[in-house]
Amino acid sequence: MKKILMLVAIAGLCLSAEAAKKKKAAPEPVQPVCTQWTPEQARAWWADKEWPVGCCFVPSYAVNQFEMWQDETFNLPVLDKEFGLCEELGFNLVRIYLHEKLWWADAEGFKKKIDKVLECCASHGLKVTFTFCTNGGSEQELGPQPGPKPGIHGGGRWCCSPSTEMMNNPELWPQFKAYLQDILRTYGNDDRILYWCLQNEPENIKKGRDPLEWMKALYQWAWEVRPSQPLSSPVWQRPGYNGATTKLDEILVALGWSDIITFHCYYGPAELETFIKMLSRFHRPMVCQEYMGRTLGSTFEFCMPILKREKVGALNWGLVEGKCKYRYPWGHKPEQGEPEIWFHSIFWEDYTPWRESEIVFIKAETADKTVAGKKAKYPIDK
């Protein structure tokens, strides 16, 4: 019996030693590439930048990203006219959406049109931020686009990016990686681009599209290229505000992995100021990448002075009313008729202002951008 017990003990020791040997010999896990800017690097980049102020831009002729960019509908004269309106308002930044299906169909042709847009924007003193991905919208295909749904905010034809199938299937991710990295390599040192928006409103989950792991991959792919412009993904709402469902894992990546902080706020000045105060603790430059929903208290008159005081970038949604009908509020129904107060947009389709006094106010606020941040209540460098 003693011999048997001794043999069992020896065998156990040998197995333990072999297991330890295997464990020691196992390869180290691959560490993710991370070249996120430090807060100090981000603030150094921001120091000589003019206060960014402008709009989220969808041309009046387009019901979605495809109609903006496809050969059959791409309209440079209209773009030139509408970018000219931005210049007249004193804007210096526009935010524009891209879409991977346009690149897959004709990568070089798509980039040639991007070149034309960047050139046109530069001629009007505008820099650009491009957005790659968004949960909003539906699964549209290239080709002639259906007309807008009447009386519906956005026209109901916006395109999500990527497809739900791709977002939920990592085996398909290399296709998107190729597109993202080609765009970043092509324009990663182009000073006409202010920054890149990787994933729009990640915690605004729709139709089962949870982009947490997808967004992590986006940052890894972008870090492999490491463009000279900053990378960001905007927070949808202040956690918990107005009943918002807090998804801290998405927010952790959006705020913790970005070079600069971007956020959206369609509520009144008190909420805007609270959000800025909260985000200032990251000690990074900030851009309010979407605001101005008039019937929610988010107006130029109420919000633009706060954003200017803090030198927080200011991008309202909408410029010229067109196919997307952004004057209608979220949830509007056709039978409700025309809204007395527009939700978004500044100009009618004929380029006359919806409200002339608003134009006067915007021009007054944008006339001297050098004072932005001089009297900030929530400085990011302290």
Q: What pLDDT digit, counting tens, does each position of 143-183 carry? A: 999 999 999 999 999 999 999 999 999 999 999 999 999 99
State the Cα–Cα distance between residues 48 and 43, nearest whole angstrom.
Answer: 9
Determine the average pLDDT of the residues in 199-218. 93
Residue at 231 is within a domain: yes
- Strands of the 313-317 sheet, one edge to the other: 231-232, 193-200, 127-134, 93-97, 53-56, 313-317, 286-291, 261-264
State the Cα–Cα distance between residues 116 and 76, nearest whole angstrom.
Answer: 8
- For 15, the token pair is 């197995």
CB atoms within 10 A of CB 382: 7
Per-residue pLDDT band at 32 (split at 50, 70, 90): low
Per-residue pLDDT band at 316 (split at 50, 70, 90): very high
| Type of residue numbered 107 | A
Per-residue pLDDT for 268 more than 50?
yes
Per-residue pLDDT for 245 more than 80?
no
Determine the average pLDDT of the residues in 349-367. 98
Whole-model pTM over 0.75: yes
Of 325, 341, 354, 343, the closest CA to residue 153 belongs to 325
Q: Which residues pair with 261 in a beta bridge?
A: 286
Per-residue pLDDT for 356 more than 70?
yes
Q: What pLDDT sits at residue 166? A: 96
Per-residue pLDDT for 96 more than 80?
yes
CB atoms within 10 A of CB 47: 9
Contact (Cβ atoms closer than 8 angstroms) between residue 253 and residue 280: no
Higher pLDDT, 21 or 90: 90
Per-residue pLDDT for 19 more than 50?
no
Q: What pLDDT sits at residue 169? A: 95
Q: What pLDDT sits at residue 101? A: 98
State the Cα–Cα distance between residues 93 and 129, nearest whole angstrom.
Answer: 7
State the Cα–Cα distance between residues 337 and 137, nearest whole angstrom.
Answer: 23
Q: Mean pLDDT for the chain? A: 92
Strand pairing report for 231-232 and 261-264: unpaired
Q: Return the percentage of the chain with pLDDT > 70, whole number.
A: 91
| Type of residue numbered 86 | C
Per-residue pLDDT for 23 more than 80?
no
Q: What pLDDT sits at residue 118? A: 98
Residue at 287 is within a domain: no
Per-residue pLDDT for 374 more than 60?
yes
Determine the average pLDDT of the residues in 213-242. 94
Residue at 241 is within a domain: yes
Residue at 96 is within a domain: yes
- For 102, the token pair is 């346009």
Per-residue pLDDT band at 340 (split at 50, 70, 90): very high
> How many structural domains compose the chain?
1
User: Counting runs of H as helices and runs of E as strands, what totals does the chain give?
Assistant: 13, 8
Residue at 306 is within a domain: no
- For 304, the token pair is 């633009």
State the Cα–Cα distance between residues 219 and 216, nearest whole angstrom.
Answer: 5
Coil, strand, or helix at residue 236?
A: coil
Q: What pLDDT sits at residue 208? A: 83
Place of tokens 């001297």: 368
- For 346, the token pair is 């500044």
Per-residue pLDDT for 47 more than 50?
yes
Q: Return the percentage of the chain with pLDDT > 90, whole number.
A: 86
Q: What pLDDT sits at residue 13? A: 33
Range with lowest mean pLDDT among 30-34, 138-142, 359-363? 30-34
- For 350, the token pair is 């004929």
Range with lowest mean pLDDT among 202-216, 240-254, 315-329? 240-254
Residue at 317 is within a domain: no
Per-residue pLDDT for 20 more than 50?
no
Q: What pLDDT sits at residue 73? A: 98
Coil, strand, or helix at residue 110?
A: helix
Determine the average pLDDT of the residues in 8-34. 44
Q: What pLDDT sits at residue 15? A: 34
Contact (Cβ atoms closer than 8 angstroms) between residue 158 and residue 136: yes
CATH code for the domain of 91: 3.20.20
What spatial distance separates the first Cα and last Cα of the chain, rounded to whole Å? 74
Q: What is the span of the domain harbouring residue 99? A: 52-258+322-354
Instruction: Print burial letters for 69-105: b (CB count within 10 Å at least 16), e (below 16).
Output: bbeebbeeebbeebbebbeebbbbbbbbbbbbbbbee
Residue at 183 is within a domain: yes
Residue at 5 is within a domain: no
Range with lowest mean pLDDT among 11-15, 152-156, 343-347? 11-15
